[in-house]
Structure 1
Amino acid sequence: MMMTDEWINIIEQADQLTEMLLTSDVVEAYRKAQDAVYSDAKLAKSIKEFTDMKERYEEVQRFGRYHPDYNIVMKSIRVQKRELDLNEQVAALRIAENDLQQVLDEVSLIIAESVSGSVKAPAGDGFFSSSSCGSGCGTGGGCSCSA
């Protein structure tokens, strides 16, 4: 591929768009919410413990009720998840993630439609989409602490 003036212009505009996104209020709110979660040592420890329990949960799921730790793991993971779900900082991070995802989905859709109405743009959830196919094709995002 040969670098033409048109490609250089596209790259420069993409850089400008990136800078606009990175300095936006939505990204700032996301960064603050993420910092609030991961700078809290107790909360970060809870997230790590939940992540470790998820690994045990996946192991137990392979054997189902026949696994000797099935009941313990199933109860423990529900309790840990509920504690994280009820944490105000985690809830704020999830809201900030959803807000950021919505902005990224909208930008993707605008770019895709500017190329052609038949170009499909990824969308974070099944509710946001006005693309020609009628639904988004992205996998969406969740709270990074529960990934």
Structure 2
Amino acid sequence: METLPLSDPAAHELDLPLYESFDSFESGDSTSLDMGQLLLRAYDIGDLVNQSAEVAEYAYWKTVVDEHEQVRELVKKFAKAKELFADCERFGRFHPDYHAAKDKVKEVEAQLNGIECVSRFKAAEQAVDDLLLAIATEIAGAVSETIKVPSNDPLPKGGGCGGGGSCSCGSGGCG
């Protein structure tokens, strides 16, 4: 089986021409944002992302996963297990089958994760997510250091807190 090398997630330094200067967005005497020019540059960034090694690897492993018969069977099994668990979850841990249903979901998920193409697909998916986060962070940082950038990371790092004033993050939005 042919494999593609995983890109180093730290190597997301694309030479993105986000803006040459804010002068390019000025028209006449007043400063206004040329949405057409901004959208064209956004499409250029999208094209660069789509041509990246991360997206190529993601597409490759997605195809491999989609064509893998054992994965398809386990995905169906996983969906059924999740449905049963959702029914049990309505009543919480007091449902007689709650723990068995939860264990079944974990078991099928572990079987899925044990298949090489699934684990490589997840790694490629994470690499694309990291690339998109790096781009979004760079764009947000060009506007302001306190702008929050959404992430799929369950343990976000830095940025403002939005926590209602009980911290000392200095973002000014804490109450």
> Per the shorter chain, which TM-score range?
0.7 to 0.9
Larger radius of gyration: 2
Number of the residue aligned with 2:133: 105
What is residue 30 of structure 1 aligned with on the other side? 58
- Residue equivalent to 2:88: 60
Query: Which structure's residues are more often helix, by fraction?
Result: 1
In the alignment, which residue of structure 2 is the partner of 1:117? Answer: 145
- CA distance in structure 2 between the partners assigned to 1:126 and 1:71 by the alignment: 24
**Do 1:102 and 1:124's aligned partners in 2 also have CA atoms closer than 8 Å?**
no
Specify the code of the residue in structure 1 equivalent to 2:90. Answer: R
Distance 1:119 1:64 in 2: 38
* TM-score under structure 2 length normalisation: 0.65
Q: Give unmatched runs, 5+ long, in structure 1.
A: 136-147
Shift of 1:63: 2.7
1:79 aligns with 2:107: yes
Aligned to 1:15: 43
Normalising by the residue count of structure 1, what TM-score does the alignment of the two structures yield? 0.76
| 8 Å CA contact 1:37, 1:43 repeated in 2 | yes
The percentage of counterpart residues that share the same residue type is 23
Output the CA distance in 2 between the equivalents of 1:117 and 1:72. 47
Distance 1:61 1:110, change over 3 A: same
The unaligned stretches of length 5 or more in structure 2 are 1-31, 163-175
- Count of equivalent residues: 131
For 2:99 and 2:33, the matched residues in 1 are separated by: 64
Residue 39 in 1 paired to residue 67 in 2? yes
Q: In the superposition, relative to structure 1, how do residues 71 and 8 fare at CA in structure 2: closer, same or farther (>3 Å)?
A: closer
Matches of 2:43 and 2:96 in 1, distance apart? 54
Bigger shift: 63-72 or 103-112? 63-72
